[in-house]
Amino acid sequence: MTDTILSTPAFMGVPPRIALVGNPNCGKTALFNALTGARQKVANYPGVTVERKIGEFLSPAGTRVQIVDLPGTYSLRARSPDEEVTRDVVLGRFQHEAPPDVMVCVADATNLRLHLRLVLELKKLGRPIILALNMMDVAEARGCRVDAAALSAALGVPVVPTVAVRRTGVVGLLNQIDRSMGAMAADLAPSPGGSPNGSPCGWSEPSAHDLRAYHREVESILAAALRDAGKPSLATRRIDAALLHPAIGLPFLFLVLFLMFQAVFAWAAVPMDMIDKGLGWVQAAAGAALPDGLLKSLLTDGIIAGVGSVVIFLPQILVLFFFILMLESTGYMARAAFLLDRLMGGVGLHGRAFIPLLSSFACAVPGIMAARTIENRADRLATIMIAPLMTCSARLPVYTLIIAAFVPDRTVAGGMIGLQGLVMFTLYAAGILSALAAAFVLKRTIFKGAREPLLMELPSYRLPSPRDMLLGLLERARIFLARAGTVIFAIMILLWFLGSFPAAPDGASGPAIDHSFAGMLGHALAPLLAPIGFTWQIAIALVPGMAAREVAVAALGTVYALSETGDALSGSLAGVLAADWSLPTALSLLAWFVFAPQCVSTLSVVKRETNSWFWMLVMIAYMTALAYGAAFVTFRVSSALLGG
Amino acid sequence: MIPPLSGSARDAASSPAPHRTPGPPPALAPGSSADPPSRAGKGCRLGALHKGERAVVTGLDESAVATPLPPGELERRMIEMGLIEGARVEILHEGFPGADPLAVRINDHTLALRRAEAHAVLVTLG
């Protein structure tokens, strides 16, 4: 690095880059939101699947600054793939990304010990650091007084007090970022031969002895800067006394999860109805405006019906993510892992596996990625293998459709519980129980070995900030709609093509789709699926359903919209299905989707995360076998019981 | 590079630990002197404590614990999570069933860990 000046981003027109580093639960993401607002995007790091959050802001000096939110860590001694990303980025080892110019280390002012140890480790890197002393409001409320000036003097690092959730102190932080970048440029100017950004990297993996030395240094810094240690949160302690109570804790957790699934239905009903009506209107308008022909068929039957039948599930997905974000930001998620550690231990899983598994209810892809926080490879693989058994939101459309068609909308238990919600809960429970059973078998056969130790911080409870919740939800909505707009859109067009060509010969009997490529494919698969009660329309829908599970519904919509004529076209899909399928067929399809053949994105993430084709193939084989077996048993038993 | 390093780190940790025990830093005393339990002053392991009991960490000895981790790793993780000589601990909550895992207050934060691993932490009650 001899041409330092030229390679310094500020001189190249590349925006200077800032990395946010800190322990988990320090309010790092809230600070990221406060700095960037909605100007942020989520992508994956190339080659790995850790989510990379990047944002931009304009500093008071008018510089456009790029900011990266790195995964939280307690140490640069990375123990999990997530933490490896943080380590590699700050060390500049990451191939695809230049090291940050300035690191903003975020620390929870109420809990400085662990955070300051990380700051000392980061200082060894020899890059400019700013310490954002976050959650100052909570610290003050607890009588904890930190002397920021003394802390800065003792640490040798600029310190800025902030309250990220209220965006207090952000201006001070921005000014400090400008000063640090200015100092960095000034440092470089007189000594072009020196290493970039000041002193060279002096970090090496600390031994237990080094870690103790860091802690002693932290204690002497705190002795100088901590005027009053304050009292630990009494509210958190009292709430935990109830929520972690041996008798109350688990029932309460299950109640929370049950309410969550009821809410997914109840809260989403109205917006879904509105989207449905809106789509119907658009479809009718497009139908009236266009002349009969291929274009009209493509637009109304292919694109609007197909993409629309997926977009309609946006409200449910948002409600689900709302709950997951709530559980995460209040601090209850860690409690859930605490409560379940013993039970999960019964099947050999780590309590921390709860978080990936719960995320898998939204989508198995982030769930499998969240398994990165599990350090032990065997534990991690076991968690990855069962994560897709958790009912992801992409299965919701299928469940909803079939339940709406076959389960009457009434209440049981004195009007307290909706029957449809109860069936949904049963399906979720079936997924969970089979996941536990699968884990039990896996941990006793393939993934033998002692469990990874549990060392997990239980953060203080806090009220989530509406702004951060909203940004989190927007991010999820954006990802979902982007999927609907790209992958699903493309598949819908392909499916429409398969369903429309070749056209039925003149004078042919039966619906046109019978003669198309899709019809041929469906009929070819039908004998294979007949023992489990699937019709050829289902067989057609399952093929694109491999790309994304929710596409199966859209595909059914297309298949039926194209194969029915007259009144059936205007009737809802649920009505069509209720008339066309027997109850055992519907139950069999539900059972199939509990164990569903995974979507392609899940499989590709499994391949990337395990770095092996083998585990991906194992997953396909075992889940397809489970799905076929479960659907077979369901179909045969229910046929026998119903006399069908 | 890791095996020889961690071996020596482990020796360094388990033998001199008692020497650097008694000096808890001055800044950490959040209401610790209130109602000391009857077993005060007695040495034992964190994994043997029950809800409400308070103690001070005197050392780490991971040899008592079966773990899939390489030698020295559990000790380092515990130090990183604040379980270090001089830290004041209190058992806040116990899981179910089997009073496991434990929620332990360590100075200013709360850590969840299992009894089995808590046996690696040597403490003095009180």
- Tell if the CB–CB gap between B94 and A247 is shorter than 8 Å: no
pLDDT tens digits for range A229-265 = 888 888 999 999 999 999 999 999 989 988 887 787 6
Residue numbers in A near B80 (CB within 8 A): 74-75, 77, 114, 117, 211
* Residue A56 DSSP symbol: E
pLDDT number for residue A548: 63
pLDDT number for residue B22: 41
Residues 86-125 of B with CB under 8 A from A: 86, 92-101, 103, 105, 107-114, 116-117
Where is pLDDT greater, at A174 or A558? A174
Structural contact between residues A603 and A365, judged by C-beta atoms closer than 8 angstroms: no
Q: Give the number of beta-carbon pairs within 8 Å between A and B.
A: 155
What mean pLDDT value characterizes chain A?
A: 81
Range of the domain at A56: 4-228
What is the residue whose two structure tokens read 């003097």? Answer: A153
pLDDT tens digits for range B88-110 = 999 999 998 888 899 999 988 99
Where is pLDDT greater, at A359 or A622? A622
A358 found inside a domain: no
Alpha-carbon distance of A588 to A576, in angstroms, equals 18
pLDDT tens digits for range A191-208 = 444 444 445 677 888 999
Q: Which residues sit opposite B113 in a β-bridge?
A: A455, B102
pLDDT number for residue B1: 37
pLDDT tens digits for range A393-418 = 778 778 878 888 888 777 776 767 77
What mean pLDDT value characterizes chain B?
A: 76
pLDDT tens digits for range A316-344 = 778 878 888 888 889 898 898 899 888 88
- Tell if the CB–CB gap between A240 and B103 is shorter than 8 Å: yes
- Which are the contacts of A408, defined by CB distance < 8 A and separation ≥ 6? A419
ipTM of the complex: 0.76
A63 found inside a domain: yes
Structural contact between residues B30 and B73, judged by C-beta atoms closer than 8 angstroms: no
pLDDT number for residue B28: 37
C-alpha distances in Å from residue A285, one per residue of A36, A197, A296, A304: 40, 61, 11, 11
In the structure encoding, which two tokens stand for residue A263, read together?
A: 């809410």
pLDDT tens digits for range A510-555 = 556 667 787 788 888 889 989 999 988 888 778 766 666 766 776 7
A88 found inside a domain: yes
Where is pLDDT greater, at B82 or B69? B82
Dihedral sign from CA coordinates of A468, A470, A475, A480: positive
Residue numbers in A near B78 (CB within 8 A): 455
pLDDT band at B31 (very low <50, low <70, confident <90, very high): very low
Residue numbers in B near A215 (CB within 8 A): 79, 84
Nearest to B25 among A223, A454, A459 (CB): A223
> What is the CB-side half-sphere exposure of residue A535 using CA atoms within 13 A?
15
pTM, to two decimals: 0.77
Mean predicted confidence (pLDDT) in A84-93: 86
In the structure encoding, which two tokens stand for residue A223, read together?
A: 């002795």
So where are chain B's domains?
Answer: 2-16+39-125
Residue numbers in B near A236 (CB within 8 A): 110
Q: Which residues sit opposite A411 in a β-bridge?
A: A418
B45 touches chain A (CB under 8 A): no
Q: Is the pLDDT of residue A619 over 50?
A: yes
User: What are the DSSP calls for B86-114, one per residue?
Assistant: T-EEEEEEE-SSTT-SEEEEETTEEEEE-
What is the residue whose two structure tokens read 């072009």? Answer: A192
Q: What is the CATH number of the domain that holds A125?
A: 3.40.50.300
Alpha-carbon distance of A115 to A104, in angstroms, equals 12
Where is pLDDT greater, at A564 or A185? A185
In the structure encoding, which two tokens stand for residue B49, read together?
A: 């404590």
* Residue A388 DSSP symbol: G
pLDDT number for residue A154: 94
Q: Which amino acid would we find at residue A507? A: G
pLDDT band at B38 (very low <50, low <70, confident <90, very high): low
B61 touches chain A (CB under 8 A): no
Q: Is the pLDDT of residue A188 over 50?
A: yes
Where is pLDDT greater, at A237 or A187? A237
Question: Which of A310-319, A424-433, A624-633 shows the lowest mean pLDDT across its residues?
Answer: A310-319
pLDDT number for residue A199: 55
C-alpha distances in Å from residue A442, one per residue of A195, A373, B69: 51, 20, 20
**Structurally, how many domains does chain A consist of?**
1
Alpha-carbon distance of A632 to A290, in angstroms, equals 45
The answer as to CATH 2.30.30.90 being correct for domain B2-16+39-125 is: yes
pLDDT number for residue A309: 65
Where is pLDDT greater, at A96 or A621? A621
pLDDT band at B27 (very low <50, low <70, confident <90, very high): very low
* Residue A104 DSSP symbol: E
Where is pLDDT greater, at A205 or A572? A205
